[in-house]
Amino acid sequence: MRSWDKVKKMAGAENGEIADAASDRPETPNSESQLSGDGDKPERLSKLPLTRIKAMMKMDPDVTLASQESVLLISKATELFIESLAKEAYVHARQGKRKTLQKKDIDNSIEELDSFAFLEGTLD
Amino acid sequence: MAEKIEDLNLPNAVITRIIKDALPDGVNVSKEARAAISRAASVFVLYATSCANNFALKGKRKTLNGTDVIAAVQEMEFEQFMDQLKDSWEAFKKEQKDKKDAAEKRKKTKEGEKAEGSSTGQPSQDEVNTSTEAAGNTDSMEQGEDKEDEQEM
């Protein structure tokens, strides 16, 4: 538990304004709905670990604080992004008559879609 | 604490799961492709955060909130994510409300026990405290111009 307090402090969240629920428990790879879960994750709102997402958000020096809901929404958007990138890459794999996604399929997807343009130069 | 993108990334198992669920059965993903997608996801988090933060700053707020993220996703041209994002947001708000109600219930029970039956209870105070601390900022003061956007949801 203490290590999570440290993460919070380093992230500058003394008031605990950043997703606090997740810090009540150590590593759980799901959303912050911990109250009802007996480890069964009945209402998992996010497949990605919110504490990790939060930590990544805090890497931006201009970000002061982030509400719980914003962390959740960034996480969900990222999940949708991954799906979207994978599906687009799959189109290219099929064009190459392959059933295995390869890096070049990702690269081609980035070149082709405007919305993926922000990724140019970042994956090499 | 980590300073580079390389030091902080998302768990491989989860990324793989998301990819596999998005694709038909029998489709595989090479290690390099998966690593690339993982890295892309990290970049996405940073970019979306930065974009959302700009909206927060525009609204003279220091706390990133849900509407900032929604606005950022729109600006990044990921309109197709909107419906699901809004659904998630609704589910999250409901969850927060349920948590709050459960916590109040517990509090009232405790107070009842302490006071040995004479429960005065000042629920409104607790409500205010809880909502300011726990539930993010749906009640925050920075509704302002953003309220119009919120109503679209």
pLDDT tens readout for residues A69-96: 999 999 999 999 999 999 999 999 999 9
The pLDDT assigned to B112 comes to 85
Domain range for A38? 3-119
Interface touch B78/A80, C-beta < 8 Å: yes
Domain B1-84 adopts which CATH fold? Answer: Histone, subunit A (1.10.20)
Give a yes or no: residue A41 inside a domain.
yes
Nearest to B62 among A7, A64, A89 (CB): A64
Instruction: Say which residue the tokens 């509090």 belong to.
Output: B107
Q: Quick check: A35 and B99 CB within 8 A?
A: yes
Give how far Cα B95 sits from Cα of A26, A120, B84, B105, Å.
Answer: 20, 38, 16, 15
Residue A124, in any domain of the structure: no
Task: Name the percent of chain B lying above pLDDT 90.
Answer: 64
B65 with B136: CB under 8 angstroms? yes
Q: What average pLDDT does chain B have?
A: 81
Does any domain span residue A82?
Answer: yes
The amino acid sitting at A66 is: A
- Predicted confidence (pLDDT) per residue in A20-78, tens digit: 444 444 444 444 444 444 444 456 889 999 999 999 999 999 999 999 999 999 999 99
The domain that holds A89 is classified in CATH as 1.10.20.10
Q: Establish if A21 belongs to a structural domain.
A: yes
The pTM (predicted TM-score) of the whole model is 0.70
Mention every residue, 6+ apart, whose C-beta is less than 8 A from residue A45: A31, A32, A33, A72, A76, B88, B91, B92, B95
Partner B contacted by A85 (CB < 8 A): yes
Tell me, yes or no, whether A78 lies in a domain: yes
DSSP summary character for residue B63:
E
What is the pLDDT at residue A113?
A: 96
| B92–A69 C-beta distance less than 8 A | yes
Query: Residue A64 has which token pair?
Result: 């002061």
Dihedral sign (CA B25, A123, A68, A51): positive
Q: Which of residues 9-28 of B touch A (CB under 8 A)?
A: 10-11, 14-15, 17-19, 21-23, 26-28
Tens digit of each residue's pLDDT (9 = 90 or more) over B34-49: 999 999 999 999 999 9
Nearby residues of A61 by Cβ (< 8 Å), 6 or more positions away? none
Instruction: Note whether residue A10 is domain-resident.
Output: yes
Per the model's pLDDT, the better-predicted residue between A24 and A122 turns out to be A122
Number of domains in chain A: 1
Mean local confidence (pLDDT), B68-92: 97
- Which regions of chain B carry the CATH code 1.10.20.10? 1-84
**What count of CB pairs under 8 Å joins A to B?**
213
Q: Which residue has the tokens 């920075």?
A: B142
